[in-house]
């Protein structure tokens, strides 16, 4: 299953176009992370551009952080037009074939993460993605509109109406399981085993670097937790402030707030959809 995640979306036209595109090339989910204005989801231009996709529009989720949007996802690909630190960005034409099977599996979640219409993804958001990708363009014009970028990516993963068959074997761990494992490892090795502050920092950085990016199966996570318990730890996800997020709670709150926002549906609520910064 594909999950499109828009981080800090600004323009209602782009947001509406993404919802409609997701309906074109589904099955697909759409999540908004911290939209600039609560009125985004009720703006007339959002409704206009998502016309015909009312069923999917009703299922759009709104959350406060990217971490929440990735909680149930086994793999996340972030799209960015700019290099980020030393992370290697891959040509989407090459990467699409590798993640395609995951996108087609209804038991899995592949997150396709796009930054805001203006600034793209920041360093922390990039760090939550296992892969970084870019959409190659001609030299004549290198910036791609946000909604167009999402359409290109979803179309490349669309295979009509395939018959999904459950694959035997192990499944990749989702975002919640990955964050719990990192927190548990840090608690035991950095906070209890490390003998110096410098060693604790190195261990913490190594855990974050390795376990945020490598493919992680559920059985791998279970094995590591068993080792933590053998070392005396009894920590559970709630001890680290982790747990399930209430479904639709953020979306309902955003919609409620938008009803009281002055001029929420007026012309001044439109975002910079006419700009062409493009995350990819």
Exposed, middle or buried, 255 (CB in 10 Å: 0-12/13-18/19+)?
middle
11 lies in the same domain as 69: yes
229 lies in the same domain as 147: no
- Which residue segment(s) compose the domain that 199 sits in? 175-240
Q: Is residue 190 part of a domain?
A: yes
- Reading the chain (280 residues) residue by residue, the pLDDT tens digits are 999 999 999 999 999 999 999 998 888 999 999 998 888 888 999 989 998 888 888 899 999 999 999 999 999 999 988 776 667 889 999 999 999 888 888 889 999 999 988 888 998 999 999 999 999 888 888 888 999 999 999 999 987 664 445 555 668 899 999 999 999 999 999 999 999 999 999 999 999 999 998 889 999 999 999 999 999 999 999 999 887 544 444 555 555 555 555 554 443 444 444 444 445 4
107 lies in the same domain as 194: no
Q: Is residue 280 part of a domain?
A: no
19 lies in the same domain as 82: yes
- Got the DSSP string for 207-219? HHHHHTTS--BHH
Q: Is residue 278 part of a domain?
A: no
101 lies in the same domain as 218: no
Query: In the chain, how many domains are there?
Result: 2
214 lies in the same domain as 105: no
pTM, rounded to two decimals = 0.66
Coil vs helix vs strand at 161: coil
Q: Is residue 275 part of a domain?
A: no
259 lies in the same domain as 136: yes
Do the Cβ atoms of 164 and 108 come closer than 8 Å? no
Q: Is residue 216 part of a domain?
A: yes
Of 144, 162, 161, give the one whose Cα is nearest residue 153: 144
The CATH number of whichever domain residue 94 belongs to comes to 3.40.1280.10
């Amino acid at each position: 299953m594909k999950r499109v995640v828009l981080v800090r979306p600004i323009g209602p036209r782009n947001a509406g176009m993404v919802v409609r595109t997701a309906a074109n090339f589904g099955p697909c989910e759409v999540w908004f992370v911290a939209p600039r204005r609560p009125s985004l989801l009720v703006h007339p231009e959002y409704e206009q551009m998502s016309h015909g996709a009312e069923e999917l529009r009703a299922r759009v989720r709104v959350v406060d952080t990217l971490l929440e949007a990735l909680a149930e996802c086994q793999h996340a690909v972030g799209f960015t037009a700019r290099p980020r630190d030393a992370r290697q960005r891959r040509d989407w034409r090459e990467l699409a074939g590798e993640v395609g099977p995951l996108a087609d599996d209804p038991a899995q979640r592949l997150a396709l993460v796009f930054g805001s219409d203006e600034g793209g993804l920041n360093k922390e958001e990039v760090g939550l993605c296992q892969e970084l990708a870019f959409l190659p363009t001609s030299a004549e014009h290198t910036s791609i509109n946000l909604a167009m970028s999402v359409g290109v990516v979803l179309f490349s993963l669309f295979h009509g109406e395939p018959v999904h068959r459950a694959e035997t074997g192990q499944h990749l761990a989702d975002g919640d399981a990955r964050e719990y494992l990192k927190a548990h490892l840090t608690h035991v090795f950095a906070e209890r085993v490390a003998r110096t502050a410098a060693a604790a920092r190195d261990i913490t950085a190594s855990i974050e670097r390795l376990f945020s990016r490598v493919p992680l199966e559920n059985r791998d996570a279970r094995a590591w937790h068993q080792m933590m318990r053998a070392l005396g730890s009894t920590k559970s996800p709630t001890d680290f402030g982790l747990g399930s997020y209430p479904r639709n709670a953020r979306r309902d709150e955003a919609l409620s707030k938008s009803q009281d926002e002055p001029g929420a549906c007026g012309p001044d609520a439109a975002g910079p959809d006419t700009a062409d910064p493009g995350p990819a």
